[in-house]
Amino acid sequence: MSKKRNQKLITPEIFRQAVIGSFVKLNPRYMMKNPVMFVVEVGFVITLVLSFFPALFGDVGGGSLRTYNIIVAAILFVTVLFANFAESVAEGRGKAQAASLKKTQKDTQARLLEDNGGERTVLSSELKKGDVVLVRAGEIIPGDGEVIEGIASVDESAITGESAPVVRESGGDFCSVTGGTTVVSDWLKIRITSDPGNSFLDRMIALVEGASRKKTPNEIALNTLLVSLTIIFMIVIVTLYPIGIYSGVQLQTSTLIALAVCLIPTTIGGLLSAIGIAGMDRVTRFNVIAMSGKAVEACGDVDTMILDKTGTITYGNRLAADFFPVGGARREELIGCAALTCLQDDTPEGKSTLQLAREMGDHSEAVEGASFIEFTAQTRMSGVDLPDGTRIRKGAADAIEQYVKALGGQIPGDLHEQVDKISSLGGTPLTVCLNDRILGVIYLKDTVKPGMVERFQRLRAIGIKTIMCTGDNPLTAATIAKEAGVDGFIAECKPEDKIDVIKMEQSQGKIVAMTGDGTNDAPALAQANVGLAMNSGTTAAKEAANMVDLDSDPTKILEVVEIGKQLLITRGSLTTFSIANDIAKYFAIIPAMFMMAIPQLGVLNIMHLATPYSAILSALIFNAIIIPCLIPLAMKGVKYRPMSSGKMLGRNMLIYGVGGVITPFIGIKIIDLIIHPLLALMGL
């Protein structure tokens, strides 16, 4: 587990910075961004003025009124500070992460390889996109790049927090390296892919420390609702003054302000920004970098998840297990031709096929002048062209069949039998041909990762549909899909097929998430609402996605979606709690305001609060202290449990709705018992 996930909620340094930030944020220009708390700040200023000039608004009451106004002003000031403190704590955690990342940014020496074959030592800050550098064991990789030659173990703990080194090599999906990591063994030749100041580490630091984040659509909508409620309650408060005069009650301005602060949704207003920042922080501590808060929020709304089979649902290391000749071909001939196609094939399939061929006694060597044909998603085959005109290919069965037919060859009668046999076992058949003659099939084995069935069941329980994409034939795809428990699959999938299925789901109003690591995944990652790219993948994939997984674990999309849902649930739960709180405060303040003139209202004083002053101040104090009490919940999030939306709503309404009504009754009564004797000493 990453050490980033085990940090304390508030360290002494974060606490110190949060306290300072609480006062800095008192600037009205900043407070106006949070209209609910800005109303509280304005109320504080008015009450503070009334503390020295009580007759300014026609209030009467002498020294006791002055004392009362001072107490109300102090509580309102503390309320604003607590709200600012909650946001500052959330920001402080991100800034602490940024500080630790900055320590990895060192202007290191780099071996720049020149076009003439020479080597020149330069500072890493001087490297430009396209430069090629050589990094040996014990040296720090000077910048983001892709390995073009070599294989080495790389310590990425400075970025990911994981102590175990990872292998980086040219070709395949593990060619990407990040500046600031260290080569542990061997050497790498790296092509730099970013200019100075624009590296992945630079962007990470800007994201995790940036307090000036953009609000998400849901956050904006909720903020609009809170502002609307605030305006409604302000209108109600204004109309209470003439109602009081008509009833023969002289309502103090500070009392009306106290009532307004207690009735408007100050609890969620004070925590809303902190919840959003903390949501991004939780994703970051899970070693996923979200490019925006909108990406995290979108995770919580995901309806459909597009998953690659290889590396996500299965281990992805499809290794050659056996060779099956067809059409009367000799086994030795099949093994020899398969080996020739793999001599320059850097993929795991190619390497394992060559290794198995060697174990079976094949000693094929590279032929001078031979031309290696790389695999592409369009041709779905690779191979080699020998100088004498011989063409050997390996690839998907239907692709090889079409290739052979185009050359005028015949399809062996037992080919489909062998292909279906391998597919029914959940393996991947790779067909080999020599010119226009099919020699046989390579059996590649793959295994579904343990625990995937339970994960997909969990996603199904919360209404998320899973679709597996694979280049395998339909029979293999169906076998793996059934074993893993996904809801659907796309066999023989090409990059454009992923885009098509994403667009189709989105046309039905669904939010789509997918993972990817290759350049061919970039268009689909950009099209998806949530695109999670692997840090080990290509630069194109990382730039197209709106999230990057530092651990390069494709299955992490499942947990990221749950973190997104936790963010939405936390925001909804605390909003419910805040509004339910207000209901309980009505029973504390309204009777207290009119009880003296209208004794019949005493029946509403169900908490039996001692005096009007103690009732109002108790409600105001509770309104202030509930904000810091909820900071841990806002930071950690409400615990997420997979269940249907209906059950989730019922559970949260019971806990945070009913609980939000009961808690103030208990809290206000306890505070009243404590402060009533003190207020009596002050003559209130």
Q: What is the full DSSP assignment across 542-560?
A: HHH-SEEETT--TTHHHHH
Confidence bin at 85 (pLDDT 50/70/90): very high
Binding residues for ATP: 345, 349, 375-382, 394
- Residue 291, pLDDT score: 75
How confident is residue 2, by pLDDT bands cut at 50, 70 and 90? Answer: very low
Type of residue numbered 101? L
Q: Which amino acid is at 81?
A: L
- DSSP per-residue letters across 362-393: ----PPTT-EEE---TTT-EEEEE-TTS-EEE
Range name among 146-155, 167-176, 439-448, 502-511 with the lowest pLDDT average? 167-176
Catalytic sites, residue numbers: 308
Distance (Å, whole) CA 73 – CA 43: 8
Average confidence (pLDDT) over 186-194 = 88
| Residue 585 pLDDT grade (very low, low, confident, very high; cuts 50, 70, 90) | confident
User: Which amino acid is residue 425, in one-letter code?
Assistant: L
Which three-class secondary structure string do you get for 439-458? EEEEEEECCECCCHHHHHHH
Mean per-residue pLDDT for 288-292?
77
For 462, list phi and psi in degrees, rounded to 5.
-105, 10
pLDDT score of 210: 53
Four-point Cα dihedral 370, 366, 537, 309, nearest 10:
100
- Tokens 């071909």 belong to which residue? 329
Between CA 198 and CA 135 the distance in angstroms is 21
**pLDDT single digits (tens) 643-659:** 777 788 888 888 999 99
Say whether pTM exceeds 0.85. no
Give the whole-angstrom CA distance, residue 385 versus residue 367.
Answer: 10
- What do you get for the CA distance between the two ends of the chain, in Å? 57
Tens of pLDDT, residues 113-139: 888 878 888 888 788 888 999 998 888
pLDDT at 211: 41
| Section 196-213 average pLDDT | 62
**Higher confidence at residue 219 or residue 370?**
370
DSSP letter for each residue of 135-189: EETTPBP-S-EEEEEEEEEEE-HHHH---S-EEEESSTT--EE-TT-EE-SSEEE
Of 116, 39, 48, 109, residue with least CA distance to 80: 39
Q: What percent of the chain has pLDDT over 90?
A: 26
CA distance 578 to 65: 30
Of the listed ranges 29-43, 213-227, 593-607, the least confidently predicted one is 593-607
pLDDT in tens, 233-246: 888 888 877 877 77
Q: What is the mean pLDDT of residues 427-452?
A: 88
Q: Residues 587-623: pLDDT tens digits?
A: 777 777 666 656 666 677 777 888 888 888 999 999 9
What pLDDT was estimated at residue 6? 46
Answer for the pair 175, 147: CB distance below 8 angstroms, yes or no: yes
Residue set of the binding site: 345, 349, 375-382, 394, 517, 521
Please report, in range form, the residues annotated as the binding site for Mg(2+).
517, 521
For position 1, what pLDDT does the model report?
Answer: 35
**pLDDT score of 161:** 56
548 phi, psi to nearest 5 deg: -130, 130
Q: Cα–Cα distance between 269 and 222 in angstroms, integer? A: 10
Maximum mean pLDDT: which of 235-249, 312-326, 398-412, 453-467: 398-412
Question: How far apart are the C-alpha atoms of 40 and 227, rounded to whole Å?
Answer: 13
The answer to whether the CB of 630 falls within 8 A of the CB of 267 is: yes
Q: Which of 613, 618, 589 is nearest to 601 (CA)?
A: 589
Least confident of 134-138, 187-191, 356-360, 589-593: 589-593
